[in-house]
Amino acid sequence: MTPRLRAAARPAVAAAIAGRLLRHAVPDLPEMSGPGRETPRYTVDWAGPVDADLPDERAAQAACGLMQVHGRATGGPLPLAVDYASVVAGVLAAQGATALRVARARGLDLREVRTSVAQGALLAVGQYLAAETARDNSGSPEPGAPHAPVAASDVPQAGGLATLETADDARVEVETLDPLAWREFWARLGVAPALAGRGWLPFQQRFATAVCPLPDELRQAARRRTPAELRAAAHHAGVSLLAVGSDPAPAVRPAAWCLTPGPAPFPRTRARPDTGVPGPRPAVSVSGAVLPLTGLRVVESTRRVQGPLAGHVLRMLGAEVVRIEPPGGDPMRWLPPLAGDCSARFSALNAGKPVVEADLTAAQGRDTVRALAAEADVFLHNWAPGKAAGLGLDASDLLPRHPALVYAWASGFGDAFGDRPPLGTDYLAQVHSGLAAAVRPADQPPAPSLMTLTDVLGGLVCAQGVLAALAARETTGRGSRVDSSLVSAAALVPRPAHRPRWTALDRPLRTADGHLYLGPEARACPEAVLSLLDGAGPMATEDLAARFARRTTEEWTARLAEAGLTATPVLTDLTALARDPAYRAAVAPPDPATGHARPYAPWEFA
């Protein structure tokens, strides 16, 4: 761990990720010294403000909703087979510590930051929480809305995934955002347009619902074709397609972000006598307190999840974040479910960001972007590869005029595919990075989680790259170009050489009124669990389910506790997060301004 930032870290994975990112972020910054200039300190623990006993990663997944969202597509709550919440917490810790570096260099008296694995898990489910707590204008949940909690009985086993099987038992993942390309792809497989159209809505809504109940006729059409035939159909239709492998190891291990220093600042353009950094603006804060990035301005032109989340993180750290949207507004604003007159998922990432509308296809719109960037500390976008250069808004266009600007690009694949990358979306990034295999045990076919794992992690990594560039700027006066990607974020997630084999104890056990996930001691000692069952004799652990269903979650928790074993009730209704007193300090209840619940900022600064 970097000697310049002291850490008191309990979860080992989170601590390792934080240390790795901090070494990458501030390798050359001099030690702070002098009265009141103590080295910033960061702390990572399991629960943070969540009033719950969370002994490990899986307990956090169970208690905070990760198991519920990840398991929707396969019929019930299911753990992610990787330490995803811990990795998110590690990135959050690195963000907090790097933000403290920036704050201290700017004269703000902030010295310590704390976060937790539970706060990382809650941030990861934030969009799903917003969707499920959204209300229509009558104040009631929208009946039959696609965001309603999905019961296990409503989703066939493996029927809610988008992954397709081929004639020779290979598996492929397809992606397109174009309904005409989707129809053409299926037409080349002999599927009628009307039938292909029935699959389009669940296919697109899987980003929001984490399930994809495609018509079985589409799956059968894919099963009649070889991978080569599917690739040919995808190529002719303009659809991206990747084969889903069973190797959990990352295909590539790129750096989390690439930071390229910009040109030296021009002396005559310096807004402050010692650097080229613009002077501080009046304090702007989301909580009424002075936060590390108070007084800094971010301009973002982003869509979907990865880019908006990066801006959302910087705003929670105190920056003013201004969105550039097309005339009439971002179309994502009206995707259901609505909270008032705005999409709940969109609001979860973009509430509180002032909007400037600009048509980037017109010279006037591009001039608007240049003018906004000239007054900003950070310019952030997640445009498709080549678009920035085509618009004349690449780093090479903006940095020479504004050498203190931090220019950030969040992509899907970076340069991993050269000039012809596939569509840079979450699920293809999971496939290419090996995460699609790593998130599932060996007895399940490899397939991406339909929870947007890399979008969330990619947005966090992009924000950390921006913070690293801001920290360097405070020393050099120079801005930087920061490139990050979904696959570089996915590569942060540690995974074993081979997919694990699970027993019944590694999965949530159904009780009379819910699900319970056993703690590490109980999972390691099945005999102790079997001894607690009514009338238990010789019995395989796979036969536990029927016996467990006879008692309630509370009864089983008490029985296990008497035997010195821990267990965590599995959250299967995200709306409970906004009502449960245990989450009062971590989750804000539905807000009249946004119409939905949301996690509070995942850091506590002192």
Instruction: Choose between 560 and 138: higher pLDDT.
Output: 560
Span 478-485, average pLDDT: 94
Span 7-32, average pLDDT: 73
- Which tokens sit at 217? 């006729």
Span 569-573, average pLDDT: 96
Q: What is the pLDDT of residue 39?
A: 62
Are the beta carbons of 462 and 482 closer than 8 angstroms?
Answer: yes
- The per-residue pLDDT for range 504-557, each reduced to its tens digit, is 889 999 999 999 999 998 888 888 888 888 665 555 555 677 788 889 999 999
Is the pLDDT reported for residue 324 higher than 80? yes
- E-only strand ranges, 47-193: 112-116, 164-165, 171-175
**Average confidence score pLDDT of the chain:** 86
Compute CA 535 distance to the chain's CA centroid, rounded to the nearest angstrom: 45
Q: What is the pLDDT of residue 304?
A: 92
Q: What type of residue sits at position 481?
A: R
Counting other chains too, the contacts that 370-373 makes at CB distance below 8 Å and 24 or more residues apart are 370/398, 370/401, 372/299, 372/322, 372/324, 373/299, 373/398, 373/402, 373/405
Q: What type of residue sits at position 349?
A: L
Which pTM value belongs to this model? 0.90
Is the pLDDT reported for residue 260 higher than 60? yes
Q: What is the pLDDT of residue 541?
A: 53
What is the spatial distance between Cα 511 and Cα 557, in angstroms, rounded to a whole number? 11
Strand 342-343 and strand 406-411: the pairing is: unpaired
Backbone angles phi, psi at 517, to 5 degrees: -115, 125
Is the pLDDT reported for residue 453 higher than 50? yes
| DSSP assignment string, 175-232 | E-S-HHHHHHHHHTTT--HHHHHHHHHHHHHHHHHS-----HHHHHHHHTS-HHHHHH
3-state secondary structure 474-535: HHHCCCEEEEEEHHHHHCCCCCCCCCCCCCHHHCCEECCCCEEEECHHHHHCHHHHHCCCCC
Span 298-311, average pLDDT: 96
- The per-residue pLDDT for range 167-205, each reduced to its tens digit, is 999 999 999 999 999 999 999 999 999 999 999 999 999
- The per-residue pLDDT for range 371-426, each reduced to its tens digit, is 999 999 999 999 999 999 999 999 999 999 999 999 999 999 887 787 778 888 99
**Nearest CA-CA partner of 46 in 57, 37, 35:** 57
Omega before 337 within 30 of 0, i.e. cis: yes
Q: Among all chains, which residue has been given the structure tokens 């960037």? A: 373
What is the spatial distance between Cα 321 and Cα 349, in angstroms, rounded to a whole number? 11
- The per-residue pLDDT for range 235-245, each reduced to its tens digit, is 999 999 999 99
Q: What is the pLDDT of residue 442?
A: 93
Q: Is 45 a catalytic residue?
A: no
What is the spatial distance between Cα 131 and Cα 338, in angstroms, rounded to a whole number? 8
- The per-residue pLDDT for range 107-149, each reduced to its tens digit, is 888 889 999 999 999 999 999 999 999 864 333 333 333 334 3
Are the beta carbons of 486 and 413 closer than 8 angstroms?
Answer: yes
What length is written for the chain?
606
Span 218-229, average pLDDT: 97
3-state secondary structure 274-329: CCCCCCCCCCCCCCCCCCCCCCCEEEEECCCCHHHHHHHHHHHCCCEEEEEECCCC
Backbone angles phi, psi at 332, to 5 degrees: -65, -15
Q: What is the pLDDT of residue 153?
A: 36
* pLDDT bracket for residue 582 (50, 70, 90): very high
Task: Provide the 8-state DSSP code for 605.
Answer: E
What is the spatial distance between Cα 318 and Cα 340, in angstroms, rounded to a whole number? 26
* pLDDT bracket for residue 439 (50, 70, 90): very high
What is the spatial distance between Cα 15 and Cα 42, in angstroms, rounded to a whole number? 10
The radius of gyration computed from the CA coordinates of the chain, to the nearest angstrom, equals: 24
- The dihedral through the CA atoms of 160, 422, 309, 29 has a sign that is positive
Instruction: Choose between 310 and 545: higher pLDDT.
Output: 310
Are the beta carbons of 415 and 405 closer than 8 angstroms?
Answer: no
Is the pLDDT reported for residue 43 higher than 60? yes
Which of 56, 426, 455, 483 is the catalytic position? 455
What is the spatial distance between Cα 320 and Cα 362, in angstroms, rounded to a whole number? 26
Q: What is the pLDDT of residue 298?
A: 98
